[in-house]
Amino acid sequence: MEIDLERNKLAGNGISEINSQNSQVKILVIPTNEELKIAQETKKAIANSLK
């Protein structure tokens, strides 16, 4: 596994491939919104506990 540091720096807002040409595996950067997902799951857990 080998990361292309320049491709990693240039990764945009979408899914980006950052592995070097010599890498034996494909390496992807996948943007996420962890804070939103945590908030949604917390809201669901609180709502379920109040039932």
Provide the terminal-to-terminal Cα distance of the chain, rounded to the nearest Å.
48
What are the beta bridge partners of residue 9? none
Task: Give Cα separations from 46 to 39, 40, 43, 49, 51 (angstroms).
Answer: 11, 10, 5, 5, 9
Where helices occur in 1-51 by DSSP H, the ranges are 5-9, 34-49
**CA 5 remoteness from chain centre:** 17
CB 28 within 8 A of CB 16: yes
Per-residue pLDDT of the chain (51 residues; tens, 9 = 90+): 999 999 999 988 899 999 999 999 999 999 999 999 999 999 999 999 998
pTM above 0.75, yes or no: no
